[in-house]
Structure 1
Amino acid sequence: MSMSLGSLPFPFPLPHQLAGMWLNDRFEKNIRVRYFRGMEFSGPTGDPGWFGPDSATWYVHAHTPALIFGLQCASYLERLDPSIFWMGVHHSRLVQKDDDGEPTGRIDPAGAAVRLGHSVAFFIGTAYGSTETAERLATTVRAMHHTIKGQRPDGLTYDADDPAWLRWNYATVVWGIATAHEIYHPKPLRGRELDRYYAEFVRVGHALGGTDLPATKADTLACLAEYLPKLALTHGNAIATGPNLTNPAQAAVDWAIRDTMPEWAAQLVMHRPPNPIERRARRSAVWTALNGLHATMGEAPEFTAARARVADGTSVPHTEPRRDLGPDPTLGRAEVEASL
C-alpha cells in the first residue's frame, strides 16, 4: 500500500513551521515579555473590552505584521510635524546622542525598538484587553504625555497635551493602521466597513484626551491635509529616509512606508512612485512578506484569549472608555516605562 508524504506523521518541524517558531520566540522575548506586563486578556468572562468580538477593530488588529507596519507608517508621517520630531529628540531614546548629550539626528535602533514595543503593546492591549487593561493603558499614556513639554531650537514651545497635537497624532495613527490594512491585508475591509473601523477607533483617541477627532477615512485624510502649513522635512527625518539610507533592508521598508503616504506628504519627502508595473511588483513583494509572517506566526495569543473570554457572549457589545481624564498620576519617564 502506497502512502503520500503529506499523510505521514512528519516527526520534525517543516521549514515554515521553524520560521514561525523563531518569529514567535523573538516576539515573546523582545516585545511580549517586556511590554505586555500586567495586561489581562483571558478575563473577566464576558467582558468585551472597548471593542468586542464583532468589531472592525478586532478584525483589523488581528493581523499583527500589518498592524506593526501601519504603526511605522504613522510614526513616519507624524514626525513631519517639527514639534513631534523635537518631542522625540528631547523626550525619548529614538534619536542617538553624541558624547556631549546632543542629538545627532540619527535613529537609535535600540530606542526605536523600545518605542515600537510600547506602541504594539498599547494597540493590542486596548483592542483585545479587558476594560480595566485598556483603561490602565490609557491612563499611563496620558501620564507620559503630561511630561512632554519643552522648546524647539527655533524657540517655539511644544506640549503633548495640546489638543491640536493630540488631534494630529490621533489622525496619523488611525490612518497608518487603516492604510496598511487596506493595502496589505489578504481580505481588507472596504468602504463603509473600513469607515466602521475609523468610527470605532475614536474611542482610543478620546480616552487619550483628543477632541474633534475625524471618524471616517475621508475626514481623516482631510484632517491630515489641514496640518500641511505646519509640516516640514527636518534634517533628522531627511537623513533617515529615501536615498540617504544605505542599508538595503532598511531602504526596502522605507520605500514601502513612503509608498503609503498621501500625495502631498509624498511630495514633501520628494517621493515619486515608480511606474504602475514596478509599483505593483514592489507592493506584491511586501504583501508576500507581511502575509508570510502572519501565516507562520499564527494567531496572536492575546487574540485567542480575548475570543475565549467572550465565547459565551457579552452583556454589552463593547464598553466605553471613561471620559474623566483627571486627575492623572504624575509619573516620571522611568515610572511610565515600568508600568507599561
Structure 2
Amino acid sequence: MSISLDVLPRFDPLPFPLPHQWAGTWLNGRFDATIRAKYFRGMEFADPVGDPGWFGPDSATWHVHAHTPALIFGLQCASYLERLDPSIFWMGVHHSRLVEKTDDGEPTGRIDPAGAVTRLGHSVAFFIGTAYGSTETAERLARTVRAMHHTIKGTRPDGLAYDADDPAWLRWNYATVVWGIATAHEIYHPKPLRGDDLDRYYGEFVRVGHALGGADLPTTKAETLECLAEYLPKLALTHGNAIATGANLTNPAQAALDWAIRDTMPDWAAQLVMHRSPNPIERRARRSVVWTALNGLHATMGEAPEFTAARGRVAGGTTVSHTEPGYVPGTDPELDRSAVEAAL
C-alpha cells in the first residue's frame, strides 16, 4: 500500500541541515557549476506568464522530464543505442568533442572526459529546455541543434558518406532518443506512465523530432520498436560500443551503469552488444539497486529550479494547451562550424 505525501504530517524546518540536505547542497552545487552555469545560458522558464511552451503543464512530457536523474540516464541509454549505427559512430569521431584527438586532430579512439561533460551538458539543457522552457527558448534550442546538424557531413573509412540532415538518420536518431528516455522512465521513475499514458508521451515528443527536421516519426511505443528494428540491416557493434561493454569495464560503478543501460535495449540490440539478461530474480535485484540510486539522487537534489519556474509561469493558466514548433524544413540560414559554436 502506498501513502500519499499530502497526508503526511508537516514539520517546521530544523535549525541545522541534515546529512541529506548537505548532500543535496553539494550535488546541486556541482550541477550548477558543471551544467547549469555553462549550458543553460539564455534559457527562460519563468516568463512569459501563461506561455505553455511546446507541451504545457498537463503534458506527459512535463511528468517524464521532471525527474532529472532518470532523464540523464535515459539519454545515456539513447546514446548507447544510437552508436550501433556506424555512421553515427563516425559522425561522433570526426565532429564531436566526445572523442579525444591528438594535436594534429587525429582521433585516438579514447573518450575525452571534458568533451563528455560538454556533450552531456548540451543534451541535458536541450531536453529540459524544450520540455518546459518558454516557446522562444524551445525554438532557439532547436535552431541551434539544427544548425550544428547542418555542418555534420563527411565520409566513413569504408567510403560511405554520412549527412546529419539525412531524413533516414534523423528518424533513427529520434527513435533512439525517445525510446531511451521513455524506457528509463518506465523502469526507474517512482510513478511511471504505463500503456496509453506512456504512448501519450511518445505522441507528444514527436514535436521535438519535427522541430529538428524529422519526418515519418513513430508516435507510440510499438511504432518506435518497429522503427528501430527496421534499421537492423544497417547496424553493427561499433568500436564506441565495444570499448564500453561488459568485460571491458573494470570500475564496478561503471560496470553497473553499463549493465543497466544494456538492460533497457530491445532484445535484438542487446544481442549485438553481447548482453544476456540474468534470471528474473537477479534482474529485479539489479534494477532495484539502480532504482534506489536514481531516486535517491532525485530526492536528495529536489525539484529542478527550471521545473519550479515553469510551473509558476503557468500557475494562472494558459491560453492554449501547448504551442507547436515553427520550423519549416529548408528555411535555416547557412552557418559554418565556427559560427554555430560561437552561438552555443
Q: Per the shorter chain, which TM-score range?
A: over 0.9
Among candidates 272, 280, 285, match of residue 281 of structure 1: 285
Q: 1:291 to 1:338 in 2, by over 3 A?
A: farther
Aligned residue identity for 1:114: T
Note the 1:132-143 alignment, pairs <5 A: 132-143=136-147
Give the unaligned 5+ runs of structure 2: 1-9
Asked if the contact 1:195–1:216 (Cα under 8 Å) also holds between the matched residues in 2, the reply is yes
CA distance in 2 between counterparts of 1:148 and 1:48 reads 32
Partner residue, 2:86:
82
Does residue 222 (structure 1) correspond to residue 226 (structure 2)? The answer is yes
Residue 163 of structure 1: CA displacement? Answer: 0.1
* Structure 2 residue 105 is the aligned partner of structure 1 residue 101: yes
- The separation in 2 between residues aligned to 1:92 and 1:186, in whole angstroms, is 34
Within the candidate set 175, 186, 189, 1:185 is matched to 189
Aligned to 1:291: 295
Structure 1 pair 287/334, CA: closer, same or farther in 2 (3 Å)?
Answer: farther
Give distance in 2, aligned partners of 1:169 and 1:34.
25
Alignment of 1:144 with 2:153, yes or no, is no
Q: How many residues align?
A: 335
Q: Structure 1 regions of 5+ residues with no counterpart? A: 1-5
Tell me how far apart the structure 2 counterparts of residues 188 and 277 of structure 1 sit (CA, whole Å): 21
The answer to whether the aligner puts 1:212 opposite 2:212 as a matched pair is no
Moved more, 114-123 or 240-249: 240-249
Q: 2:56: which partner in 1?
A: 52
Counterpart residue type for residue 85 of structure 2: D
CA distance in 2, matches of 1:129, 1:120: 13
1:156 alignment partner, one of 149, 157, 160: 160
Cα offset for 1:45? 0.7
Match of residue 115, structure 2, among 102, 111, 124: 111
Question: Retained in 1: the 8 A contact 2:83–2:240?
Answer: no
The one-letter amino acid paired with 2:139 is E
Task: Say which of 36, 41, 45 aligns to 1:37.
Answer: 41
Stretch of structure 1 that moved more, 243-252 or 287-296: 243-252
1:72-93, Cα deviation, whole Å (9 max, x unpaired): 0000000000000000000011
Secondary structure at the counterpart of residue 213 of structure 1: coil
Identity among equivalent pairs (%): 85
SS at match of 1:96: strand
Q: For 1:243-302, what per-residue CA distance to the aligned partner results, in whole angstroms no more than 9, with x for missing partners?
A: 111122211111110111110000000001111111111100000000000001111111
Q: CA RMSD, aligned part only?
A: 1.5
Conservation of the 8 A alpha-carbon contact between 1:105 and 1:239:
no
Structure 1 residue 18 corresponds to structure 2 residue 22: yes
Shift of 1:43: 0.6
**1:191-242 deviation line (CA, Å, top 9, x unaligned):** 0000000000000000100000000000000000000000001123211221
Amino acid at match of 2:266: P
Q: Secondary structure at the match of 2:333?
A: coil
Residue deviations 1:94-124 (CA, integer Å, cap 9, x gap): 1122454322222222111111100000000
- Residue 199 of structure 1 pairs with residue 203 of structure 2: yes
> Are 2:238 and 1:234 equivalent residues in the alignment?
yes
Distance 2:121 2:338 in 1: 15
Change (3 A) 1:98 1:249: farther
Q: Which position in structure 2 is the counterpart of 1:3? A: none
SS in 1 for 2:168: helix
Contact conserved, 2:241 with 2:273, CA < 8 A, in 1? Answer: no
8 A contact 1:106–1:240 mirrored in 2: no
**The one of 95, 106, 110 aligned to 1:91:** 95
Instruction: Tell me, yes or no, if the aligned pair for 2:147 and 2:340 is still in contact at 8 Å.
Output: yes
TM-score, length basis structure 2: 0.94
Cα distance in 2 for residues equivalent to 1:334 and 1:295: 40
Tell me the TM-score normalized by structure 1.
Answer: 0.95
